[in-house]
Structure formats: structure tokens, C-alpha cells
Amino acid sequence: MVLTDSLHHVVIVGGGFGGLYAAQALKNAPVKVTLVDKRNFHLFQPLLYQVATASLSPAEIASPLRLVLRGQKNTQVLLDEVVDLDPQAQKLYMKDGELPYDSLILATGVSHHYFGNDHWQDDAPGLKTVEDALEMRRRIFLAFEAAEKELDPEKRQAWLTFVIVGGGPTGVELAGAIAEIAHGALKQDFRAIDPGQAKILLIEGLDRILPPYPPELSAQAAQSLEHLGVTLRTNTLVNNIADGVVTVKQGEEEEVIAARTILWAAGVKASSLGQVLHERTGVSVDRAGRVMVEPDLSIADYPNIFVIGDLANFSHQGNSPLPGIAPVAMQQGRYVAKLIPAKQQGKTPPPFHYLDFGKLAVIGQNVAVVDLGFLQLSGFVAWLIWVFAHIYYLIEFDNKLVVMVQWGWNYFTRGRGARLITGESVLPLLPGRSLTQPEDNQVKVKA
């Protein structure tokens, strides 16, 4: 990288909603911008569950960062991973080198949280990256393939049992989509099984799904999910996950569920850069590792370091921290992008204030819930609002005409055309029935 001039250098770490909106809002500012991300694309995470459930392809919800920022001449994109920083020297340490900054914006987001049970990760993957989504997609569709071949009814039902842990928006979206796959898309595709026999269980620890929503919307979402064929287990905690078995506890009652596909949508923790920042600057972090930020999104004692998006805990508005959703990150990115040049000019802008336009969660085709604060909606109208809001934001960076066509196509065909099982070979699917490679002409089969 070549850094020649003496302009104020803003380094942004992370090209998610927070970082990318900050970069774009700095387009005409008298600064030099470097955006560092370990991936070469911005991911439209709200639609990641559609990749996991074979409605969309990864490229359809990803925008190459260089493409988005190609016209922005004051901005350079670097593919690299920040591993440490020196706040006194104002330097970042990346895997491929170091990078000095004048102002720093950290927006590296969150990953899955297993609440001390990290060993559940292999059995119950979460959904944060493109690779996570392809892994979920692979497990969901492999399960039906294995069931088609399995002769033992009990084992077959385990292949046809899907447990989703966590009744927030992601869990609700996954459960709804898997129900639609089992009862719709795959209906005529098998000969030995009826995919409609699939059991889809959604496990939630609190007393209702979508807990941040008004209780009426939670109830309507629950009803819609049940209508799609999802079984809800609220007030239910996961005690253990191992080897295709989930042990849950509702009150005093323990239940053992044989399920070959277990998906994790229960919690998030801050990316490790939050901890690094804590060690280097002494800034406080919360239990999830999120960085406690000041009213202007900077951190204590370091007015030139900002933390935004899911990585930040902003607790200066309302009774709880702002939620980890895209609109918060976008508004924070834009706020900091205005704050930095203003402070250079000696101004002191007012603190950050989040404008809440509402919350959306989708359950299935034609069904969503929308909480606009002054108005709660569910059903088809809510779904239309969800569709248009997502198209609007999705096409902002990089006109995703193809997604609209794909959605239109999927809508009318109820298709799940992206159901490729990719990655390493997984055969045999039914290891108990596998064969030894016969030698010579003597073919031998293990029982």
C-alpha cells in the first residue's frame, strides 16, 4: 500500500453495514480512507438464511467491496485481518503488515456464542458467514438424501428431524424456511420418504419467540410458524448437544430429541478485536465482549478510536443497549463519518442518536411481522414491507437485478434451486452400512 500524502487518515476495520456506510459517507470528506476487511465482499447478512435454505446464491447477497468503492478516489480497500493495535503509536497490526491511522473506526461485528459450550459448534453450526450458510444448506439437504436411503424407521426419523436453537429472527426465519422446504419444495422429489414427515422444532429459552417484539406479534408469528408445520418449544433450555441428540429441559422435564440436523441461532459474542481493544486501551467490554462506547461512539480516553455496529455497546439511549441490527450500524457509520471531519474543523457535534424506524422479521412466503412502534402488522402486508425494505437496501450498493428475478421465480415456483450440496465428499452417509472396498473379484459387504 502506498500512503503518500499528509491528509488525515481514517482507517475503517470491517466492511459490514457500519464500516461500509462510514466509508461511503466519507466520500467527499477531506480525508484519506483505508477500509480493511478479511473478506473481499460486503455480505448482506439479513438474507444469509436464504442462502442456507437454497433460495439464493452467495454472490447474490454479496457485493465486492472494491466494486462498491471503485469510484471513491480517496478510498483504498485492503484485504487483510487486523490482529492488534497500538493506540499510542496510532498503528494497526495486520497479518500482512502494519497501518498507521489518525482516526480509527472498528466495525468487526460479532460471531456465534455458545455460552461456554463451544464444543457444540460442530454439531450445531451457526449462521454468520457465507461458509456457515453453505454448511447449513449442505446439512439440511444431505439429511433428506440420507433419509431416502435409510431403512430403519427410527434412524430415518432422526434424519428428518431438524432442531433450531434460538427463537430470535434468525431462528424463526430458518425454521419457517425449512418447513417450506419439507412441505413444499421437496414434496415430489423422493420415492422412499415423504419429506412432509419432517419434524421442525424451534427451541426458545424465554416464554415466547421473537422476545424483543410486542407480545401480540410474537403470538402471531408463533401461529404462522405452527401453520407451516413448525413445533415450538418455549421456556425450553438446551442442556446438551452431542452426536445427533439434543437434550432439552422444560421446567423439571427433560426430553431427549434424536435429530441429525441441529442449527444454532441462539446468541452472539463480539469479535475478538473487542478484547484486544480492551487490553490495549483499558476500555470496558460487556459480558458478550462488546465495547462500551461514549455518547459520540468513541472510547474512553481515546477520542480518535470509534467502535460501531454490533461490536459496540451503546447504552446512552433507552434502558438497554441498542440492538445488533443493520439500521443501527448504518446510522452509526454515517454519524462517525460526519463527526471526524467536523472535529477536525474544531466543531463538537451532538451525541449519536438512533432513529428507530421499526423491526421486521420474516416467517415464510407471504408471512412476516413488522413492528413500526406506532403500528404492528403481520401477514401478507408485513411480508410486502419486508420484501421491499430488503430489496431497497440490497440494491443500494450494487444493483442486484438478479435477486429480484430469482425471488420472483422462487415466489411462483416455490423453488429452492440453489440446493447444491457442495464441499468435501461426505459419503458414506450411513456409515453403519458402508462397504469394504472388495479385493480382486471377492466382493465383501459389511453388515
Active site members: 173
How far does Cα 6 stand from its chain's mean position? 38
Asked if 94 is part of the footprint of its own copies (rule: CB under 8 A), the reply reads: yes
Looking at 15, 80, 128, 175, which residue binds its own copies (CB under 8 A)? 80
Looking at 97, 196, 303, 318, which residue binds its own copies (CB under 8 A)? 97
Find the helix packing angle between 215-228 and 169-180, rounded to 10°: 20
97/318 with CB nearer its own copies: 97
Asked if 115 is part of the footprint of its own copies (rule: CB under 8 A), the reply reads: no
User: CA 11 to CA 102: how far, in whole Å?
Assistant: 8
Looking at 100, 196, 349, 428, which residue binds its own copies (CB under 8 A)? 428
Asked if 29 is part of the footprint of its own copies (rule: CB under 8 A), the reply reads: no
Taking contact as CB under 8 A, which single stretch among the options 81-89, 231-239, 257-265, 267-275 is the one that binds its own copies?
A: 81-89
115/190 with CB nearer its own copies: 190
375/445 with CB nearer its own copies: 445
* Residues in 306-365 that interact with its own copies by CB under 8 A: none
Taking contact as CB under 8 A, which single stretch among the options 89-97, 172-180, 312-320, 358-366 is the one that binds its own copies?
A: 89-97
Q: How many chain residues interact with its own copies (CB under 8 A)?
A: 77
Asked if 148 is part of the footprint of its own copies (rule: CB under 8 A), the reply reads: yes
Residue 419 is classified by DSSP as -
Question: CB pairs under 8 A, 24+ apart, for 409-417?
Answer: 410/55, 411/365, 414/180, 414/184, 414/185, 414/365, 415/55, 415/185, 416/53, 416/54, 416/55, 416/181, 416/185, 416/186, 417/54
* Shortest reach from residue 46's CB to its own copies, in Å: 18
Asked if 447 is part of the footprint of its own copies (rule: CB under 8 A), the reply reads: no
* Residues in 35-74 that interact with its own copies by CB under 8 A: 38-41, 54, 57-60, 62-64, 66-67, 70-71
* Residues in 189-228 that interact with its own copies by CB under 8 A: 189-192
* Shortest reach from residue 386's CB to its own copies, in Å: 21
The reply to whether omega before 321 is within 30° of 0 (cis) is no
54/363 with CB nearer its own copies: 54
Q: Name, in order, each residue with C-beta under 8 angstroms of 287's C-beta and a sequence gap of 6 or more.
A: none
Q: Residue 184: how many CB atoms within 10 A of its CB?
A: 18
Asked if 122 is part of the footprint of its own copies (rule: CB under 8 A), the reply reads: no
| Residue recorded with cell 452426536 | 243
Asked if 301 is part of the footprint of its own copies (rule: CB under 8 A), the reply reads: no
User: CA 149 to CA 422: how far, in whole Å?
Assistant: 19
Q: Name, in order, each residue with C-beta under 8 angstroms of 215's C-beta and a sequence gap of 6 or more.
A: 208
Q: Residue 232: how many CB atoms within 10 A of its CB?
A: 20
Asked if 423 is part of the footprint of its own copies (rule: CB under 8 A), the reply reads: yes
* Shortest reach from residue 420's CB to its own copies, in Å: 5
Please, which residues bridge with residue 165 across strands? 203, 264
User: CA 275 to CA 83: how far, in whole Å?
Assistant: 11
* Shortest reach from residue 226's CB to its own copies, in Å: 27
126/169 with CB nearer its own copies: 126
Asked if 391 is part of the footprint of its own copies (rule: CB under 8 A), the reply reads: no
What grid cell was written down for 202? 424451534
* Residues in 271-290 that interact with its own copies by CB under 8 A: 280
Looking at 269, 278, 414, 433, which residue binds its own copies (CB under 8 A)? 433
Q: For strands 41-43 and 62-64, give the pairing.
A: antiparallel
Asked if 95 is part of the footprint of its own copies (rule: CB under 8 A), the reply reads: yes
User: CA 233 to CA 227: how far, in whole Å?
Assistant: 15
* Shortest reach from residue 161's CB to its own copies, in Å: 19
What grid cell was written down for 193? 420418504
- 303 to 103, 106, 204, 333, 351: CA distances (angstroms): 9, 13, 40, 16, 13
Greatest pairwise CA separation for the chain in angstroms: 86
Asked if 131 is part of the footprint of its own copies (rule: CB under 8 A), the reply reads: yes
* Shortest reach from residue 321's CB to its own copies, in Å: 29
Taking contact as CB under 8 A, which single stretch among the options 77-85, 218-226, 260-268, 360-368 is the one that binds its own copies?
A: 77-85
189/301 with CB nearer its own copies: 189
98/254 with CB nearer its own copies: 98
Find the helix packing angle between 17-25 and 326-344, rounded to 10°: 40
